[in-house]
Amino acid sequence: GAVVSQHPSWVICKSGTSVKIECRSLDFQATTMFWYRQFPKQSLMLMATSNEGSKATYEQGVEKDKFLINHASLTLSTLTVTSAHPEDSSFYICSAPGQNYGYTFGSGTRLTVV
Amino acid sequence: DQQVKQNSPSLSVQEGRISILNCDYTNSMFDYFLWYKKYPAEGPTFLISISSIKDKNEDGRFTVFLNKSAKHLSLHIVPSQPGDSAVYFCAARGGADGLTFGKGTHLIIQP
């Protein structure tokens, strides 16, 4: 079945630094990748949608300059958290539309900013 | 405004019995509903889905029921097994956007 590989699975970084999260579709082409964020005991919230070859679309309240999304190819989408701060600490997950209306999720990235 | 609601943060069910997880939604434009199972620090795993034109979909131990007039869907798991213990998310799709998730229900299967 469709697999989305997400790396890293966890990362700890210092406040003010940038972190890049990668999502690769391994056995299918993902023209669209959704990026979600989940805070503890909260739902997964859609942050942005990346489309191969065009600019990402961001949900209301999500800072474009802070969360840089690049969909460089049909198999790779990246999310870069720039100038990270402790309040950016969260669980980030990517997802690509799969077959039969199923959405395939990556394994998630636990970001901790100290 | 939460468009997808799971009002039970947790649910405890005895092994072998039926688990019923509920979900309500407000947006009548949603055309597809999905249930995901999630373990801590992992991505959600797709369980079962239902189109808005249907009222029931069954896959093994999992059955999803949709009541469009009430804007309500439920996931039935029978019989419940210890491995079913996880957080279950109800999700809805509207058009080409990403999914809208509920807050999840933590299902605990007791031996």
Interface touch B98/A36, C-beta < 8 Å: yes
What are the CA-CA distances from residue A98 to residues A6, A27, A55, A95, B92 (Å)? 16, 11, 21, 9, 15
Among partner residues B42, B46, B101, which is closest to A102 by beta-carbon distance? B46
Confidence of residue B41 (pLDDT cuts 50, 70, 90): confident
| Closest among A111, A62, A84 to A14, alpha carbons compared | A84
Confidence of residue A99 (pLDDT cuts 50, 70, 90): low
Q: pLDDT tens digits for A52-66?
A: 888 899 999 999 999
> In this complex, is the C-beta atom of B62 within 8 Å of any C-beta atom belonging to chain A?
no
Query: Using omega within 30 degrees of 0 as the cis cutoff, is the peptide bond preceding B82 cis?
Result: no
**Which of the residues B46, B48, B51, B57 would you substitute to probe the A interface, choosing the one with the greatest number of A C-beta atoms within 10 Å?**
B46
> In this complex, is the C-beta atom of B41 within 8 Å of any C-beta atom belonging to chain A?
yes
Confidence of residue A97 (pLDDT cuts 50, 70, 90): confident
Confidence of residue B1 (pLDDT cuts 50, 70, 90): low
Q: What is the pLDDT of residue B48?
A: 94
Rounded mean pLDDT, A25-42: 88
> In this complex, is the C-beta atom of B65 within 8 Å of any C-beta atom belonging to chain A?
no
Q: What is the pLDDT of residue B42?
A: 84
Rounded mean pLDDT, B62-73: 97
